[in-house]
Amino acid sequence: MNSILLDLGIIQIRWYSFLVLVAIIVSSTLIVREALKKGIDKDELLDLIFYTILIGILGARVYYVLFNLNYYLADPIEIVKMWNGGLAIHGGIISALIFLFFYTKKKKINLLLFTDIAVVGLIIAQAIGRWGNFFNGEAYGREVTLKFLQNIHLPKFIINGMYIGGAYREPTFLYESLLCIIGFIILLLIRRIKKLKTGTLTSIYFIWYGISRLIIESFRSDSLMLGSIKVAQLVSIIGILLGLILLFRSIKYNKLYTEDKLK
């Protein structure tokens, strides 16, 4: 699979960089539209989105580099070549959440209100971004046969792109992209519920993506590892637990609020 979208001689535009940019534009547009409806100040909102994206990208890169440290220490210049791939979404989420915790506290913005808005844009960005992995030959699964790929009715260009390292690979990038699209639709539908408690969308995102990634990671053969443990599965379990805590907290708060009103 050709990773170059446009070759201008002096500069090359890669599919990975292009799709990451598209993902940022789509997610930012969705976030801005919803945040303005919620009454968040426009200037503060734009600053918040800009810095969150910047911190998220840097965090995603640092996270990936740390788990591939021997490779990058052997050739340090590769660290800055993000267009070659190597952005770990979990690193981006963790760094962005840490930044948001302190930034929203300083600006007196409800953290969960903003994350409820942001996760809808984030999950569709993830769906788009996975296609960047496809063009870079990343996020692939176990070795499979050509017949296996044909039997799941994949387009020919995906089948051709799944021939990596002398063997056909399972398209785990596609599985995750599709699950993120489904998650996006679920979040949009839940968001339409009237009197939805703050934090509910954030909790559903953590649970949905956590379970999705936990399953998909079991099929991947290029995972980031911590000894014999797949890091993404460990972080996914933590994400699921966090999501459940947020969800139960929201339900409990809503129940106590309703009981108080009935007294």
pLDDT at 249: 85
Contact predicate 126/212, CB 8 Å: no
pLDDT at 45: 92
pLDDT at 258: 36
Domain positions in the chain are 4-262
Contact predicate 86/61, CB 8 Å: yes
pLDDT at 255: 46
Residues of the chain with pLDDT under 70: 253-263
pLDDT at 8: 84
Contact predicate 103/115, CB 8 Å: no
pLDDT at 150: 97
* 1 class by beta-carbon count within 10 Å (0-12 exposed, 13-18 middle, 19+ buried): middle
User: Which of 23, 34, 25 is CA-nearest to residue 201?
Assistant: 34
Furthest C-alpha separation in the chain:
74
pLDDT at 9: 81
pLDDT at 175: 98
For residue 22, what are its two tokens? 């598209």
pLDDT at 250: 77
Q: Is the dihedral of CA 106, 195, 207, 65 positive or negative?
A: negative
